[in-house]
Structure 1
Amino acid sequence: MHQEDQALRADIYALLAALLRDAPNAELLELLRTLETDPQQQNDLQLGWQMLQMAAQRATPEQLADEYLPLFIGIGQGEVTPFASWYLTGSIMEAPLIELRRDLKLLGFERTEEHKEPEDHIAALCEVMSLLIQQGASEERQATFFHRHLAPWAEALCKDVQQAGSAVFYQAVATLALAFFQHEKITLKQKPEEPQAVKLFSPAH
């Protein structure tokens, strides 16, 4: 896989981590508004970027904070519960989290004090993928982590967010994330020398 493709994947994972951990601030929202998308390319990823850009243009940080809270946190529990354990077992803090913590320890990652949620939060997993790519982890190691800890449930989460009654901006986030995770399933099964045929996005200059 080309270095440019790797850097782009790391950036997308980092963006998804930021958007799924908390509502975007004014700076991130402005970045999303100025993304350059390619209208000539009609694929799910491009549709996701276009939807996200349009959603960002119509939103304010205050509106998104009000949307994020009932969607992901709620009173006791949000409309969507963004943890691997919940999707895989129906409860939080279960076996998938224990397995994840073991793998994170082997990889040299640990939760920082500023992040209070369990490590199997979707944002934390996206952040780990971004860091693995940035640190030059082999494609095999990336694939192992992705298929163990994201692939079994992340698409179901995205589909739930798309259908959630409190989601407006986050419907666009979920559409992009779903397309990206589906693309990753293919990417992480390809041989390193195979080229990436899909252009994802280009930041505005």
Structure 2
Amino acid sequence: MNSNDDLNRHDARGRAYQGLSALYHPPAATLEKVLTLLKGGLEGCYPELAPYADDLLAEYREQADLGELRDDYTRLFLGPGPLAAAPYGSFYLDGGRTMGPTTLEAQQHYQVVGLKPGGEFKHPPDFIATELEFMFFLIHCQLQTADPGTASQFMLRQRAFLNRHPGRWVEPFTELVIEEARAEFYKVLGALTQNFILAEQNALPELQAASETNHG
């Protein structure tokens, strides 16, 4: 992979994370634009996963309005009442409670790179959308720097955060989403999220080695 291919692959990864993160917020009028962004990102980094984006687009276009998706989103992720698929890492890693040690540890990752609570991220540190958005942020920082050593450090941060946080709880979370969702849209989203994070965990060591070779 040459340097331009390398940069394009990372840019596509960032767009995929950005799109996935947005899909874990309440459905809005911008949903088709988000799905198009996601599809383009997947085609550029993990083309084998792009059909999931096609399925999401098809499910979205079958909706007369966003009411069904909003109802299912609320029941799965928002409440009130018990959540069908709690979207917080601490729920899975801290014995079924939220705002636990996992939450604080995620916050520490953000603070190290200058992100503050209530600033760039408005939701709990271990909310799935926040963690996915943080991965997008780290990729953005990696691509913005002209220093190969700094870029490598941002890739190391990506691997460390991914393996320590979403990579540890995405499977039980997305299995609940797939099982509990009433709208096929969220079943597909759960399956895509699980497979995307697994693909990232498998690919990041090789991507970092390729980047270091190109800049070495």
Aligned-partner Cα distance in 2 for 1:119–1:94: 11
- Which of residues 82, 89, 92 is equivalent to 2:87? 82
Aligned length: 191
Deviation at 1:63, TM superposition (A): 2.4
Instruction: Tell me the TM-score normalized by structure 1.
Output: 0.82
Aligned-partner Cα distance in 1 for 2:100–2:54: 37
Runs of 4+ in 1 over 6 A off after TM superposition: none
Distance 1:69 1:114, change over 3 A: farther
- Which of residues 25, 40, 53 is equivalent to 1:49? 53
Q: Match of 1:121?
A: 127
Deviation at 1:173, TM superposition (A): 1.1
Q: Which amino acid aligns with 1:168?
A: E
Q: Match of 1:6?
A: 10
Is contact 2:135-2:158 (8 Å) kept?
yes
Q: CA RMSD in A?
A: 2.6
Is contact 1:84-1:153 (8 Å) kept?
yes
User: Deviation digits for residues 26-59 of structure 1, max 9, x if unmatched?
Assistant: 2322553795798xx994x134223212212212
More helix by share: 2
Is 1:108 the equivalent of 2:114? Answer: yes
Is 1:161 the equivalent of 2:211? Answer: no
Helix, strand or coil at the partner of 2:168: coil
Deviation at 1:85, TM superposition (A): 0.4
- The higher relative CO (CA closer than 8 Å, separation ≥ 6) is in 1
Bigger shift: 182-191 or 125-134?
Answer: 182-191
Is contact 2:104-2:125 (8 Å) kept?
no
Q: Match of 2:148?
A: none
Q: Match of 1:178?
A: 194
User: Deviation digits for residues 79-118 of structure 1, max 9, x if unmatched?
Assistant: 1100000011110011111111222111211233686531
User: Deviation digits for residues 137-156 of structure 1, max 9, x if unmatched?
Assistant: 53212101111111100122
Structure 2 runs not aligned, ≥5 long: 143-150, 212-216
Distance 1:191 1:72, change over 3 A: closer
Structure 1 runs not aligned, ≥5 long: 196-205
Distance 1:55 1:117, change over 3 A: same
Aligned-partner Cα distance in 1 for 2:7–2:108: 29
Aligned-partner Cα distance in 2 for 1:68–1:170: 8
Percentage of matched positions with identical amino acids: 27
